[in-house]
Amino acid sequence: MKLEKGKTVVGFAGLGVMGYSMAGHILKGGYDLLVYNRTKEKGLGLLAQGAVWADDPFSLAEKSDVVITMVGYPKDVEEVYLGARGIVAGARPGTVIIDMTTSSPGLAVKIAEIAAEKGLFPIDAPVSGGDKGAREGTLSIMAGGDAGVFEAMLPLFELMGKNIVLQGGTGSGQHTKMANQIAIASNMMGVCEALAYSKKAGLDPETVLRSISGGAAGSWSLSNLAPRILAGDFAPGFFVKHFIKDMKIAIEESERMNMDAPGLKQAFSKYEELAAKGHENEGTQALFKLYDE
């Protein structure tokens, strides 16, 4: 499929913290945009800019050349694709379907197999970069699927991200995102511990941050989330509850491969403790609250 601005219709399902911005970039990029979200109010801003509403995933898919999804949990992915009024049921042969949700690699394979029977072209393409990356169009996009389909979709991906890599066949994007989340899990504990240590030692954490963020300890989380922590900003760029979901998938996949992941398991335990204290709808940087008690 060749993408053509003003002719190619892109359907986008899932207008949450990240999906809204991602869909907005596609609309601003010159493509006709259909949108669907369980709560229509979240799409009103895009509708005011020229997007068109679809009543359900089936209706979205039947009118689209490319369908992109950015929903919450694997169960949501399965429902939106394989439900009776889902994307696979509504899509025309030749439609490209791109799931950008962080989900199960096994589910990506299942959807791809069912979609292929109908002549659809599936790509799993989870992202990293949080709300900031989504707003600025600088997400890292990790894709799995057919190389030719991936190349054809690059103009869309380039509207949403900067680091865009095809990792391999179906499910490879999701496996790569699990590796990403494993790296972040232990790193977030380190970021929070470092800031808490700085406070306990009587240092100015902001001054400490200026020193360590540019050295060997530097990381995306240290540069982007540590300042939010110090400002008392725990609003979600990425929800605690969604990170718990991701870590659970990563633990299940690592166990399936007979691999131990102690850092991941420790982080999972800490985030479950955080959620149990009522912080599941805050950003992942809220983990600091456990260290600052």
Q: How far apart are CA 288 and CA 293, in angstroms?
A: 9
- Write the single-letter amino acid at 31: Y
pLDDT at 147: 98
Looking at 140, 169, 198, the residue that finishes a domain is 169
- If asked whether residues 26 and 154 sit together in one domain, one would say yes
pLDDT at 293: 85
Task: Specify whether the CB–CB gap between 191 and 230 falls below 8 A.
Answer: no
CA neighbours closer than 13 Å in the CB half-sphere of residue 65: 17
Could you say which residues of the chain have pLDDT below 70?
A: none
Q: How far apart are CA 19 and CA 11, in angstroms?
A: 12
Whether 185 is covered by a domain: the verdict is yes
- If asked whether residues 105 and 214 sit together in one domain, one would say no
C-alpha pair distances (Å), 43 with each of 14, 69, 72, 139: 9, 14, 16, 21
Which of 71, 147, 65 minimizes the C-alpha distance to 104?
A: 71
Token pair belonging to 169? 């066949």
- If asked whether residues 49 and 165 sit together in one domain, one would say yes
CATH classification at residue 275: 1.10.1040.10
Residues 6+ apart with CB under 8 A from 140: 127, 128, 129, 133, 161, 162, 163, 164, 165, 180
- Catalytic residue (one of 28, 177, 199, 277): 177
Q: How many domains does the chain have?
A: 2
pLDDT at 260: 97
The question of whether 177 is a catalytic residue gets the answer: yes
Residue 284 structural domain:
176-291
CATH classification at residue 14: 3.40.50.720
Looking at 139, 169, 199, the residue that finishes a domain is 169
Task: Tell me the H-state helices in the chain.
Answer: 19-28, 44-48, 57-62, 74-82, 87-90, 105-117, 130-136, 147-160, 172-200, 205-212, 220-224, 226-230, 240-256, 262-274, 288-291
pLDDT at 139: 98
- If asked whether residues 18 and 127 sit together in one domain, one would say yes
Kindly report the pTM of this predicted structure. 0.94
- If asked whether residues 91 and 187 sit together in one domain, one would say no
CB atoms within 10 A of CB 6: 7
